[in-house]
Amino acid sequence: MDQLKNYINGEWKSSSSTQNLSVHNPATQELIAKVPYGPDTAKDVNKVIEYAHQAYLEWKDIPAMKRVQPLFKMKTLLENHKEEIAKLITSECGKTYTESLGEIQRAIENIEVACGTYVMNQSEFSENIASGIDEFMIRQPLGVCVCITPFNFPGMIPFWFLPYAIATGNSFILKSSEKVPTTMQYVFDLIHNNIDLPKGILNLVHGGKESVDAMLQHPDVKAVSFVGSTNVAKYIYSEGAKYGKRVQAQGGAKNPIVIMPDADIEMTTKIITDSVYGCAGQRCLAASLVITIGDDKNYKEALVEAAKSRKVGYGMEAGIEMGPVISKESKTRIEELIQKGLSEGANFLVDGTQKKVSGYENGHFLYPSILENIPLGKEFISTEIFGPVMSLLNFKSLEDSIQFINSGRYGNMACIFTQDGLSARKFRNEAMAGNIGINVGVAAPVAQFPFSGWKDSFFGDLHAQGRHGIEFYTQTKVVIERWPKNWSRTF
């Protein structure tokens, strides 16, 4: 199997590195790709930045209406090939085919919003701020923009950034996760063969930390977008700032959902179960902490039954509701965290470990788990698991649950299930998280709204998607000008 190539300056080019990482289907263990890795990948990055900078110098002066035209074609291209892309996502990431189709739809929606960039990016004008003087503000592109994306949404997350960057006049370099390189490899090949973009505007490189550091340190890189763990997000943010970059870095989460006593049991159970176990819990908006208020016997029984009945298997097979986690290392880490929780005093309501999927015994499968009686203030309760594990807590009052939520280090999402408007309003106003759900299990903003995050879940000022994306990829320039009616010069 040949090593994957980089897409540099409108051409597929072999990497400078002869080192590879093998990419396996997490369900079947089939070898699906060999991706460039190691120190020499930094040479590829430096090369692509040079081409991207030259391309930007011409692209920035193209009228905005013309810059968005390729995006209309890109939208249609993804729509026409979404089934093939979804199969690739399932193959390398492990989620179900239905989940993969939903992911591609989210990508398409971001392209649709970015097509309106020329409207959202209009100048602000004020006439006659003083006699004969006008003032206005314009937005101009930054230059070379790079994006470092995670394994869990290989088809969607690049499009939180890519369409906004090029629509606003920048050139763009994507470094997708070395764990899931084939989805965007396929998408870039579609773009290469079907869309007439200037060479160097859109680029794809592979690698690990060496590639990332080369991007962070290069003077021609002006903006860095990242999604991943909090530890890496902090590193990206601090290093990028040190080298004068504009940075948006999405980190981890420990998302809570509060169930009020008046919540509808059937609806609440279904939605929360999908939130916790969808994508095998490997998403930054997956519910992790499920908090019941008062008597929770009925909710507990319903959640246990729903977890036990969830169908686990290979995501391409019909009826499967949850696929494997991404790797053996990830599975081991999740199992070790569960054991840590048990050693701290928690106990199983549902044990999803030590189980195999028939026909896929070597796959990285975990079944849904539920733990209860979890001590507060310990490691397990504050650590992101990123797997199919529900931590079930109980508090006496809504006030107690909000206080607990706000004491945590993360602030990506918080949700409440209730039929009481006053409780919902209190939660909405007081819970310290960037994305709030009311009777919603995954509070994922649609493309025209920013993907918000607070505290250790986000580092930066402007988030991905929508108007925030446009503002992130542009810088403001204020112009004050005078054109007197009777101009005279003194020589």
Number of other CB atoms surrounding residue 264 within 10 Å? 13
Whole-number Å distance between alpha carbons of 489 and 394: 79
For 393-418, b where at least 16 C-beta lie within 10 A, e where not — what string? bbbeebeebbebbeebebbbbbbbbb
Sequential DSSP letters for 179-240: TS-HHHHHHHHHHHHH--PPTTSEEEE--SHHHHHHHHH-TTEEEEEEES-HHHHHHHHHHH
First to last CA, the chain: 76
115, 145, 147, 284: the catalytic one is 284
The number of angstroms, rounded, from the C-alpha of 188 to the middle of its chain's C-alpha atoms is 19
Q: What is d(CA 213, CA 234) in angstroms, rounded to the nearest whole number?
A: 14
Closest CA to 233 of 471, 462, 468, 457: 457
Residue 213 and residue 243 in contact, taking contact as beta carbons nearer than 8 Å: no
How far, in Å, CA of 306 to CA of 368, rounded? 9
Phi and psi (nearest 5°) for 258? -100, 130
Give 271's Cβ-side CA count (13 Å radius): 20
Question: Is the separation of the CB atoms in 165 and 191 below 8 Å?
Answer: no
User: Cβ distance 92 to 182 under 8 Å?
Assistant: yes
Calpha distance 343→147 (Å, rounded): 39
Output the CA–CA distances (angstroms, integers) from residue 311 to 34, 95, 96, 348, 476, in the order listed.
Answer: 31, 13, 11, 19, 51
Contacts of 11 (CB under 8 A, 6+ apart): 199
147 carries an active-site annotation: no
Return the residue matching tokens 């996760």: 177
Amino acid at 349: L
Q: How far is CA 290 from CA 257, 262, 270, 340, 433, in A?
A: 5, 15, 13, 19, 15
Other C-beta atoms lying within 10 Å of the C-beta of residue 19: 16
Catalytic residues: 284
